[in-house]
Amino acid sequence: MSTTKIDLILHRVQRAKDTYLDAQILAENNRWNSVINRLYYAAYYIITALLLKFDYTPGTHSGVKALFSIHFIRTGVIPEEYGKLFSQLFSWRQKGDYDDLFDFDEERVSLYFEPVKKLIEVIETQFINE
């Protein structure tokens, strides 16, 4: 059985939603560095679904960030706030995953749940399920 483009797009949408739920579970256990990681990946998966829908195939995380900015943020197709959100999550995910002696806290991280949820909803409703 071959996987179609739409199958892959729908898989990434579901993965974004599942990863967002993982972030909520981790937050309940005060695992804030892991929460940032999961929030980043929730945004990453929904953005890669969007990029794939329009046949953009980045090879790296930086490529995802660049193509999202060029084709959707700078053009005004998606509000600029979501470009800033993804850039911040991109930076913080790297900091949380790779920097020694650094820990996120609830105050800083909890503010990102609602914007990530809205990003998933915007992309899914306006582009994937159109």
Contact between 64 and 48 under an 8 Å Cβ cutoff? The reply is yes
Around Cβ 108, how many Cβ atoms within 10 Å? 12
Q: What is the pLDDT of residues 66-124, one digit of tens each?
A: 999 999 999 999 999 999 999 999 999 998 888 887 889 999 999 999 999 999 999 99
CATH 3.50.50.60 fits 5-128, yes or no: no
Contact between 93 and 23 under an 8 Å Cβ cutoff? The reply is no
**Both structure tokens of 90:** 């991109």
Residue ranges of the alpha helices (H) in the chain? 5-28, 32-53, 61-68, 80-98, 106-109, 113-123
Q: What is the pLDDT of residues 15-72, one digit of tens each?
A: 999 999 999 999 999 999 999 999 999 999 999 999 999 999 999 999 999 999 999 9
Measured distance CA(13)–CA(19) in Å, rounded: 10
| pTM of the predicted model as reported, rounded to 2 decimal places | 0.95
Measured distance CA(18)–CA(14) in Å, rounded: 6
Give the per-residue pLDDT at 16.
98
Give the per-residue pLDDT at 2.
64
Q: pLDDT class for 130, splitting at 50, 70, 90? A: confident
